[in-house]
Structure 1
C-alpha cells in the first residue's frame, strides 16, 4: 500500500537504525500484519490489541515525518 510506504520508508531510513534491538524486532513483527490494520493503527484510527505492537506503533506515530 503506497500510503504505508510513505510512512514506513522514512521511518526506516531515519529512526529505525537508532532503535533498540527489541524495538527493531517489533517493527518487523508490525510488517507482518495486514496492510489495512497497519493503516488504521498508524493513522490513529485504532490501536493494536498486542502490547508489543502498540509500542512500535506509538514509536512510528511519534516519529512520522521526522528527519535525523
Structure 2
C-alpha cells in the first residue's frame, strides 16, 4: 500500500516538463491512483521510470509498449481520458 508521502512523490515524478505528459499523469495520480488495485499501482510506478520520449509515443498512440505491464497501464490512463 502506498502512503500519502509515496503518492506525493509519485505526483512530483509525474511532472515531466512536457505538457502532453503532465496533463495525463498528474491528474491520474490525483484522481485515480488510490483506487487502482495494488498490482496496477506498481505498474504505474514502473511506467514513471520510462523515458519521456517513450511515454509520449505511447500516449500519442504512435507506439505500443512491448512490456505487457506498461501496455496495460497506458491503456488504463488513455481509457480514463478517452472513454468509449
2:52 aligned to which of 29, 35, 39: 35
- Which shifted more, 18-27 or 7-16? 7-16
The 5-angstrom pairing of residues 1-68 of structure 1 reads 1-64=18-81
Superimposed CA distance per residue, residues 8-54 of structure 1 (whole angstroms, 9 cap, x where no aligned partner): 01111111110000000000100000001001101111100001101
Please list every run of 5 or more consecutive structure 1 residues that lacks an aligned counterpart in the other structure. none
CA root-mean-square deviation: 1.5
Query: How many correspondences in the alignment?
Result: 66
Considering only CA atoms, is the larger Rg found in Structure 1 or Structure 2?
Answer: 2
What's the offset of the Cα at 1:2?
A: 2.6
- Normalised by the length of structure 2, the TM-score is 0.72
Please list every run of 5 or more consecutive structure 2 residues that lacks an aligned counterpart in the other structure. 1-17
- Normalised by the length of structure 1, the TM-score is 0.88
Larger RCO: 1 or 2 (CA < 8 Å, sep 6+): 1
- Which shifted more, 1-10 or 17-26? 1-10
- Structure 1 residue runs of 4+, over 3 Å off? none
